[in-house]
Amino acid sequence: MPDGIIYLVGAGPGDPGLITLRGIECLRQAQVVVYDYLANEQLLNHAPPDAERIYAGKIGGRHNQEQEEINRLLVEKGQQGKIVVRLKGGDPFVFGRGGEECEALALAGLPFEVVPGVTAAVGAAAYAGIPLTHRDFTASVAFVTGQEGKDKSESGIDWDRLSLGDGTVVFYMGITSLRRNMQRMSKHGRDPHTPVALVRWATTSRQQVLTGTLADIADKAEKSGFKPPAITIVGDVVNLRDKLRWFDSRPLSGRRIVVTRAADQAGEFSSMLTSSGATIFECATIKLVEPESWDELDAAIGTLAGFDWLVLTSGNAVRFFFQRLNALGFDARALGRCKVCAVGPKTAEAIREHGIRPDLVPADYKAEGVVSEFARLDMIGKKVLFPRADRAREVIPSNLEQMGAQVTAPVAYRNILPDRLCPEALLALEKRCIDCITFTSSSTVLNLAELLGADLLADMLKGVAVASIGPITSRTCRDLGLKVDIEPQEYTLSSLNAAIQQYFSLPAH
């Protein structure tokens, strides 16, 4: 059996973008991933689909597996010749018990590698706008455990040295012992008025920051119900937060938004909103699949060079059309003299990725805008290929035919209901803790209404801002009794993101 290897990979403090390139390389070759509750689960997507995924974190505040069990598990998988990634929040060697795990591996004679990560103190401080060191305030910083071993009768921390001077002190996982730790610092010489910051769920869209002093931070934490996981930053550098905060002052910070795009398409829009500070619930209401038969599209592709125009109205149409073109052994050269119309800049961008520059991109992205552009041309006798979704509106083909064109409109993909809706998103809607729901096509609205029922949908969205990508989708929303609060002037995801930001920037919201 080939030798296995165990990689102890620091996942960073929460933001999946903070993992190192080496960490991602290890995940991509993993056969087993053992991860804890502070490691962002999005990182598991970097592992192969068939990799075994084992959760070894906490459930309800209790460890799902004790450290000795985790050590045995890593040794067992390593002895089986597996490539194992132990994915740990923060850095494995900074209060991550990575040293204990490596000792077990070394004792078993197994090879291992430690991949450092951004530790919580560094990530939390940066995302809270608090520099841990600053030449005008302090030149030193100390990382300290906030929870010493339960079997210790006396503290092993030198509180005198820790408390005296002006160095920044960061306590890891010390919320449950916050009052005791703050009292100890005051007792051993630190000024009770020294600023303190608590940072919870650092570097994620759920990040919360609470500030106070050694004297009052424990009372503030209790009053606000501040819970773990969090770190505590003590020092005058905390005062810089008012000037340097950036992460939690973004336009959508604290907003909870439901994205209803198809599962394989939600990422781009979700990333836009997340970058603006929002917490995203991806709730796919459509599933895009192949047509029941390719016959009609295949026949059109076989005579593609004989068409005058190819009209593609979405990135989905581009994707399915070119997938089928390639599957039949053709490439962009099969278009011959056929011109290409792209509806919207994103569709045009998708077409350019296939080495084709669209001949026509209507300024108005609605079907009516496409018709208006073609009305300027002589379409009599022109052959038009219009690969479409099974539920596409008939505006374009019917109007082109009225202009004298010969239109072939084969189904390139179908829009079907997903197997289920995201339970987390539904629970959030039921608890009335969603600020906004986004609809990027009429299908996303209609499918959600079909899955929930129109009456229940309208009830669940009371008090929720409805964001629609354009007038056609908005009309569908209104037909179902929904009030549309947000609609951009341009029917693009970036414009919708900007319109949502503008809406929530108003004082009333």
| SS3 at position 479 | helix
- In degrees and rounded to multiples of 5, residue 401 shows phi and psi of -65, -35
CA-based diameter of the chain, in Å? 92
Residue 225 to residue 206: CA distance in whole angstroms: 15
Catalytic residue, candidates 58, 220, 339, 383 = 58
Q: For the chain, how many residues are written?
A: 509
Which CA distances in Å does 342 have to 283, 298, 310, 349, 405?
28, 21, 9, 9, 18
Among candidate residues 135, 70, 137, the one with its CA nearest the CA of residue 105: 70
Residue 39 to residue 19: CA distance in whole angstroms: 10
Mean pLDDT by 10 residues, the chain (509 residues): 84 94 97 91 91 78 73 95 96 95 96 97 97 95 82 77 91 93 95 97 90 97 94 97 93 92 77 90 91 96 95 94 96 93 93 95 88 94 95 91 96 91 89 94 93 93 96 95 95 93 88
Asked whether the beta carbons of 13 and 118 are under 8 A apart, the reply is yes
Q: Which CATH class is domain 256-286+418-505?
A: alpha beta
Q: Which CATH class is domain 5-118?
A: alpha beta
Q: What is the pLDDT of residue 41?
A: 84
> Where do we find the tokens 């009372």?
219
Q: What is the pLDDT of residue 263?
A: 66
Question: In CATH, what number does 289-415 get?
Answer: 3.40.50.10090
Domain boundaries, the chain: 5-118, 122-245, 256-286+418-505, 289-415
One-letter-per-residue 3-state SS of 59-116: ECCEECCCHHHHHHHHHHHHHCCCEEEEEECECCCCCCCHHHHHHHHHHCCCCEEEEC
| SS3 at position 139 | coil
506's tokens: 């108003």
- Is 173 a known active-site residue? yes
Name, in order, each residue with C-beta under 8 angstroms of 442's C-beta and a sequence gap of 6 or more. Answer: 472, 473, 475, 476
Among candidate residues 113, 115, 117, the one with its CA nearest the CA of residue 3: 113
Architecture of domain 122-245: 2-Layer Sandwich (3.30)
What DSSP string describes 36-51? -TTS-GGGGGGS-TTS
Q: What is the pLDDT of residue 126?
A: 97
- Is 182 a known active-site residue? no
Residue type present at position 96: G
Catalytic residue, candidates 166, 173, 298, 383 = 173
Catalytic residue, candidates 1, 3, 15, 36 = 36
Q: What is the pLDDT of residue 66?
A: 85
- Is 185 a known active-site residue? no
Q: What is the pLDDT of residue 150?
A: 54
Asked whether the beta carbons of 260 and 285 are under 8 A apart, the reply is yes
Residue 263 to residue 335: CA distance in whole angstroms: 31
pTM of the model: 0.71
